[in-house]
Amino acid sequence: MAETEQVSDNYTNEEEEEESPEPETSRSRRRRFKASNMSFVEMVEMVDILKKADYDGKKAKIMAKVDKSLHRNFGVRRSKDQLRKRWSDLKIREHEQYRRIRRVLQKSK
């Protein structure tokens, strides 16, 4: 009987350790977003918003709008830095992908 109680006590201690919050440091306070690939439709949504707003890389409010839209439509949260980098990559390195997105947007209008 004592062994059973000891095993159950060990089990509850393990659960408490997993659920305990991380110590408050400057790093743990920041939101962390999982870096994952963007789907084509997510990129289309992002490019549509950024083109309409004439985004030049300096306006944080526009990126917040993109993040809200992606979260609302696709259930995905992305940091502003991730979105800026993806936008830059599309325009500079991935010309063909950018052209495909623009064609899709033109056809939808």
pLDDT digits (tens, 9 = 90+) for 19-50: 444 444 455 555 655 566 888 899 999 999 98
- Rounded to two decimals, what is the model's pTM? 0.61
- What would the pLDDT profile of 49-64 be if each residue is shown by its tens digit? 988 888 876 778 898 8
Model pLDDT, residue 38:
82
- Report the chain's mean pLDDT, rounded to a whole number: 76
Nearest to 82 by CA among 66, 103, 96: 66
Q: Supply the pLDDT for residue 21.
A: 47
φ, ψ dihedrals at 46, nearest 5°: -60, -50
Mean pLDDT of 101-105: 93
Q: The tokens of 38 are what?
A: 């963007």
- Domain boundaries defined on the chain: 2-108
The token duo for 14 is 């393990």
Structure confidence at residue 11 as a pLDDT band (50, 70, 90): very low
Mean pLDDT of 89-101: 92
Residue 105, judged by CB atoms within 10 A of its CB (0-12, 13-18, 19+), counts as: middle
Share of the chain above pLDDT 70, in %: 66
| Buried-state track 37-74, b at ≥16 Cβ within 10 A, e below 16 | ebeeebbbbbbbbbeeeebeeeeeebbebbbeebeeee
